[in-house]
Chain A
Amino acid sequence: DAKTTQPPSMDCAEGRAANLPCNHSTISGNEYVYWYRQIHSQGPQYIIHGLKNNETNEMASLIITEDRKSSTLILPHATLRDTAVYYCIVRGAIIQGAQKLVFGQGTRLTINP
Chain B
Amino acid sequence: GAVVSQHPSRVICKSGTSVKIECRSLDFQATTMFWYRQFPKKSLMLMATSNEGSKATYEQGVEKDKFLINHASLTLSTLTVTSAHPEDSSFYICSARQDGNYGYTFGSGTRLTVV
Contacts and interface: CB of A to CB of B under 8 A. Distances in A.
Contact of B31 (A44, A93, A97, A102): A97
Contact of B46 (A44, A102, A105, A106): A102
* Interface SS of chain A: loop
B109 A46 contact: no
Given A36-B103, A97-B31, A97-B32, A43 B109 contact: yes
B43 A46 contact: no
A5 to B, nearest CB: 13
Contacts of A97: 31-32
Contacts, number: 60
Contacts of A44: 44, 93, 95, 106
B107 A43 contact: yes
Interface residues of A, number: 26
Contacts of B43: 85, 87, 103-106
Interface in B17-62: 31-32, 34, 36, 43-46, 49
A101 interface: yes
A102 B36 CA distance: 10
B105 interface: yes
A66 B75 CA distance: 40
The 7 A-B residue pairs whose C-beta atoms are closest, nearest first, are A46-B103, A43-B106, A98-B32, A103-B44, A44-B106, A98-B97, A103-B43
27 contacts: A32-B101, A34-B103, A36-B103, A38-B44, A41-B109, A41-B111, A42-B109, A43-B95, A43-B107, A43-B108, A44-B95, A46-B102, A46-B103, A46-B105, A47-B103, A49-B101, A49-B103, A87-B43, A93-B101, A97-B32, A100-B49, A101-B46, A102-B46, A103-B36, A103-B44, A104-B43, A105-B43
Interface of B: 4, 6, 31-32, 34, 36, 43-46, 49, 91, 93, 95, 97, 101-109, 111
